[in-house]
Amino acid sequence: MVSLQSSSGQVLASSTVSLSGSQTRFARQSVVLTPSTSASDTNNKFVVTVDGAAASGRTIRFTLFSLLPPTFKNRPNGLREDIAEALQEMGPKFFRFPGGNNIVRGILLVLLTIKTANTEISRSQKGQTVAQRWQWNNTVGPLENRPGRAGDWGYINTDGLGLFEYLQWCEDVGMEAIMAIWSGFALGGTSVSPNQLGPFIQQAADQINFVIGDPTKSAPAAVRSSLGHPAPFKLNHVEVGNEDFFAASTYQGQWSAIVQALQPQFPNI
């Protein structure tokens, strides 16, 4: 049973879910919880209880709990109405995503690791920050299939607010999208040399094609279409990296490798 309860244990809303599934795949269960009465304060709980007798001898694994109020424009996995409406009333002209530190990943983690355990430095710099960067393809599709990752500021990112949700947000509010792609550099110190950027440039091209590509010609665009948006989103600006502290001797090489590969494919951006 899943329920909303007050701090004193009063059940405000509940629903019973029958669990089934295999040992290799998670099964999504969705319910609507409508409180029968208003809570006396905001100190409430989302509670999951299991029938002990029915579950005896079995292992039940959970991958993600998501509790959302009514969303802006009724978008699945969308934004809180009050926050999104307040933003819309401000009349913003553009929105930059997925955010600076969000795209490079691992800044705070690596800096703390360097300060607290020198033995961890080399292991962190050999790929953890690169592997855990924001990757568009890990932020689209069913929530239960999004792997998530360690965030920059000490908490886990579910990536529930992913690329598709960002684009819908821009469309719903009327904001110009400014989308960042990874530049091959993480502020923790890891840097991919220009001659090794090929796979990352391809991932950036796929990211752009997810946004504006033709679903009949592009696999990433076909993914977008499968999510209910066959028409391309509007995209005129792409940002390369964040506040990347490249040295003067390396910045030009990184920039040239990325731009020279992408500009012929997307001449209108």
Q: pLDDT tens for residues 25-74?
A: 788 888 999 999 999 999 999 999 999 998 888 888 888 888 988 999 99
The structure tokens listed for 141 are 């599709």
For residue 63, what are the contacts with CB-CB under 8 A and spacing of at least 6?
26, 144
> 74 to each of 69, 169, 172, 258, how far by Cα in Å?
10, 12, 11, 37
**CA atoms of 36 and 11, how far apart (whole Å):** 9
CATH number, domain containing residue 257: 3.20.20.80
For residue 153, what are the contacts with CB-CB under 8 A and spacing of at least 6?
101, 108
Of 55, 83, 98, which residue sits at a domain end?
55
For residues 44 and 77, state if they share a domain. no
60 in a structural domain: no
**CA atoms of 71 and 83, how far apart (whole Å):** 10
Contact 187, 245 (CB under 8 A): yes
Q: Please give the tally of structural domains in the chain.
A: 2
Residues 181-197 have a mean pLDDT of 83
Q: pLDDT tens for residues 135-150?
A: 999 999 998 889 988 8
For residues 105 and 170, state if they share a domain. yes
For residues 160 and 239, state if they share a domain. yes
Q: Which domain holds residue 12?
A: 2-55
Q: Does pLDDT of 118 surpass 70?
A: no
